Amino acid sequence: MILVTGPNGNVGTELVRMLAAQETLPYKVAAHTPEKIDRLYGTHVPRVHFNFADRTTWPAALEGVTSVFLLYPLPHPRTVETWMLPFVEAMADAGVEHIVYVSVPTAGDTKVVPHYKVERAIEASGVSYTLLRAAFFSQNLCRDITTHAVDIAKYDQIYIPAGKGVTSFIDSRDVAELALKVMESPEEHRNQAYVVTGPEKLDFYQVADIFTEVLGRKITYANPWIPQFWLRVGPRVTWDTLLFMTIVYALTRYGKNAPMTDTLPRLLGRPARTMRDFVEDYRDRFTGEAATRSQKVATPGVMKKVS
């Protein structure tokens, strides 16, 4: 039995869809908000109530589970200690046999990254594991918890403080496919750490050019300083989302999100999706009402369209 945490996230969403389309691996979804699960997948998807912040929900979620797809929602130094490390211990105590953990490329040696402590705890738990150290997800540009899709759809602007830093963007659908492959044959990936990236290194000026070509209108990369980013984006997102985005984009600005590997095509036997593939497949998310349907839109004067 597989337990999928983070079923509303970039990778979790795609993984649940893949699991729902097959009949070999039994699974259940760790549902913090059942209404979201129903909206995303329908009522037929098996689920169990789960909340990282409520430890009384953990035993039922872990009952009968042999593999866990573990996703850390909005990593933060405080919740490492209160959520993730205790949950790693709970998985070991419950007899979980394999953990697939979605991490970041710098988590192996960058102690300031919250994933670092989680990885070390998993390694010390005695449970077999596979660490998927994924690069920046292309889908972060259209996640409901961020402002990026709104900024692109309404203001033709990528408003991200990443400077000229480059990122080897990866498509979350590729990571989900790899996670499923690992869970189908966990022994083949026992105690492995994979840095998985897309096939190209891009800065956000180049990303804006790709959006321009695919969408057929000029998209500009604003490249604000981090304080400017806080002022404009802060009122539109939760504080933990703002902190998470700031850390990610600061790492990119200073060259910490630039590795590129051939791990994903080597393991999947096909090329990784490109940024252009992503924009073409998700183009409706960056036009008209689709981008603003579930997001808080900036008030007049907060954002200005760049000509």
pTM of structure: 0.90
Tell me the per-residue pLDDT of 87-114, one tens digit each, with 9 for 90 and over: 999 999 999 999 999 999 888 887 878 8
Rounded distance, CA 118 to CA 111, Å?
Answer: 11
Portion of the chain with pLDDT greater than 90, in percent? 69
| Contact (CB, 8 A) for 139 and 171 | yes
Q: What is the pLDDT of residue 48?
A: 95
Q: Which residue has the higher pLDDT, 42 or 299?
A: 42
> How far apart are the two ends of the chain, measured CA to CA in Å?
53
Q: What is the CATH number of domain 2-134?
A: 3.40.50.720
Same CATH topology for 2-134 and 140-166+199-258+270-291?
no
Parse the chain into domains and list their residue ranges. 2-134, 140-166+199-258+270-291
What would the pLDDT profile of 116-174 be if each residue is shown by its tens digit? 999 999 999 999 999 999 999 999 999 877 789 999 999 999 999 999 999 999 999 99
Tell whether domain 140-166+199-258+270-291 is in CATH 3.30.700.30. Answer: no
Measured distance CA(149)–CA(205) in Å, rounded: 16
Cα–Cα distance, 176 to 190 (Å, whole number): 18
Residues whose CB falls within 8 Å of the CB of residue 238, separated by 6 or more in sequence, listed in order: 145
**Is the pLDDT score of 292 beyond 60?**
no
Closest CA to 251 of 75, 67, 15, 91: 75
pLDDT tens figures, 12-32: 999 999 999 998 999 999 999
